[in-house]
Structure 1
């Protein structure tokens, strides 16, 4: 295979699809062609996919992105170094920075301007990261939930490679990193329910209901996962992306209860109910997990759905209050004590709600409406 042919194969996802088929004998989640959910995902025709894409690009309603950037708390390397153990800093979307046993762990790192394979097209950040990528401290590890662009940014990962000891990934995602140039000795790939212990911390890849892929022909060639982190008595759950399913109850029974559960609440829509949860389902997932504190993530950074950007916060806040669930909503860059969390402010209400035009074509450079 010539270098040009190899490059085209990688760009289309043919290489990843072939690698994915090679994993068929290593995982009960694999059917011989691709990875699958416990409950099969309903087949969706190309027509529905094209309609969703058209609506997302052209028919976006008002308010799906803020009219000005939400305020973030700027972080410095000195602040992070001085932070006590069991601190958590939300850096945006599903990017969380944990400090555990004097070391830093980062989930789903995306520091790029857009969650997209393209530099000038695709969902653009609402706000800058609270700390620049170059100012991050060395990382003990990066934890990846799956390979979608809003959770795995190639340039970010490559920038982190020299200062990161280990990359924990679901099956197949680590192969992508190795193909990109990450040292294979740094990569640990896990199937659901597999665990690894590092520095006294236990990390377990747990089930999720989602899908994967970064190009035309590599759909579900890699696995997706949620994660459980255990530090002695402290237990933390990180959902990654997922629809609601019975697996939450199983995770709670086997590995819970959890002191803090970081669960997706955002980018949901009736058009794709199987792969992202409505806020009511987020709250029920937290109950199933036997969580103590709920922190809604997967929101506040990218325009990925048809709902107003503040809606996930408002809905989950009301639902948690009605069910007596302790909810923490730290702003981006704000420290959260994992042992004794605080509720946080309703910071999303500080952004003016001036809506003048529809947000269609927001994703295209030079034609943004907010």
Structure 2
């Protein structure tokens, strides 16, 4: 059942350069000749996906316990799934786009289902210093998770309008800080800056682009070892990555969308080669591909994002990390990880790659 999209806005957004006639917009309009999904594409997406768009067997996940989190060193990162990442920064826990739902859908009985259970249960998460939200699509904003987490979260950082959704779900207004692009908040010596992305928003047929979307720059500049992390959220490739890199780079780690791409929607989702280029534009040192391995959101094989990005990173001499879900990664000094997905691919992957 669809929920009422908004209560009274926390503030007017008329001051935002991105806000025009009640809707937000990208820096660059969609090109007139840009491919878009037609009726056949949509039919295939909903009713005729390839068999290999879902795993043939259970994905490996490293279970994560509350005790492990208590003992976790500073600057630890754990992939929980899709674009959900748990990070320990300056003694506090932060989580990005927390989605724990069984489906990335407004319906409990239909829509993309999870490939794997989260490595830690929602109820077992520690108190959270903050939640970082990129936009309001169902694979990034989970109503049930927000409701469950709200009592243990001190701060929600989000783009304009997304905070209105949180308020309508019962989150206290004083916990929410909304951001336009290039606006920043400082929390415990950390600086979070909402930066541009090329995407869209909405949770029903009637509320498209009523809320803003963003990427995020995360900086710890007060430490003896400064840290800069980029979280892409969702988006197509555009020249904004170069500008973000110019203003904030280089980055120790980029958390980059690599999944749910298609020839029919390049404007709103990057292909793997574009992810590599965006990482370079940002001045990234290590790349961690996200937005993959959890939901079936495109026509490509579920493992294709991993294989493509790993191969392209090798060709481009880009350091890449592919931790399993639940595996610890050090934000300052990441490790490569392993091709864990190959154990579930069976005969779908070419023999040369399986070797």
TM-score by length of 2: 0.93
SS in 2 for 1:294: strand
Query: Structure 1 residues 58 and 252 mapped into 2: Cα distance closer, same or farther (>3 Å)?
Result: same
Q: 2:325 matched to which residue of 1?
A: 332
1:103 shift after superposition: 0.6
Question: 1:199-278 counterparts in 2 under 5 A?
Answer: 199-232=188-221, 233-278=226-271
**Per the alignment, in what secondary structure is the counterpart of residue 51 of structure 2?**
coil
Q: Counterpart of 2:86 in 1: which secondary structure?
A: strand
Checking the alignment, whether the CA contact within 8 Å between 1:24 and 1:32 is kept in structure 2 is no
Select the residue among 104, 107, 124 that pairs with 2:93. 104
- Relative to structure 1, is the Cα distance of residues 52 and 26 closer, same or farther in structure 2, using a 3 angstrom cutoff? farther
Deviation track 1:301-334 (CA, whole Å, cap 9, x = no partner) reads 0000000011000000010001110000001000
Offset of 1:61 from its aligned partner? 1.3
Shift of 1:154: 0.2
- SS at the partner of 1:348? helix
Counterparts of residues 1-370 of structure 1 (less than 5 Å): 11=4, 13=5, 15=6, 19=9, 23-42=12-31, 48=37, 50-232=39-221, 233-353=226-346
Which digits, 9 at most, give the CA deviation of each residue in 1:191-225, with x for residues without a partner? 00000000000000000000000001100000000
Q: Is the 2:82–2:293 contact (alpha carbons within 8 Å) kept by the matching residues of 1?
A: yes
Could you report, residue by residue, the CA deviation over 1:249-300 in whole angstroms, capped at 9, with x for unpaired residues?
0000001100000000000000111000000000000000000000000000
Between the aligned partners of 2:163 and 2:273, the Cα distance in structure 1 is 33
Hey, what's the Cα distance between the residues in 2 that align with 1:31 and 1:112? 33
Inter-partner Cα distance in structure 2 for 1:176 and 1:258: 31
Asked whether the 8 Å contact 1:24–1:31 carries over to 2, the reply is: no
Structure 2: distance between partners of 1:306 and 1:78: 39
Pair 1:283–1:352, CA change in 2 (3 A): closer
Q: CA deviation at 1:48?
A: 4.0
CA drift of 1:35 comes to 0.4
CA contact (8 A) 2:190 2:220 kept: yes
Q: Deviations over 1:153-206 (max 9, x none)?
A: 000010000000010000000000001100000000000000000000000000
**What RMSD over aligned residues (CA atoms) do the two structures have, in Å?**
1.9
Is the CA contact 2:303–2:345 (under 8 Å) kept in the aligned structure 1?
A: no
3-state DSSP class of the match of 1:125?
A: coil
Q: Where does the alignment leave 5 or more consecutive residues of structure 1 unmatched?
A: 1-6, 356-370
Structure 1 residue 55 displacement after superposition? 1.2
In structure 1, C-alpha distance between the alignment counterparts of 2:272 and 2:29, rounded to whole Å: 22
- Is the CA contact 2:37–2:265 (under 8 Å) kept in the aligned structure 1? no
Equivalenced residues, count: 343
Distance between the aligned counterparts of 1:285 and 1:294, measured in 2? 10
In the TM superposition, what is the alpha-carbon distance from 1:67 to its structure 2 partner? 1.1
CA displacement at 1:354 relative to structure 2: 5.8
SS in 1 for 2:155: strand
Q: Aligned partners of 1:222, 1:71: CA distance in 2, in Å?
A: 35
Q: Structure 2 stretches of 5 or more lacking a match? A: 349-355
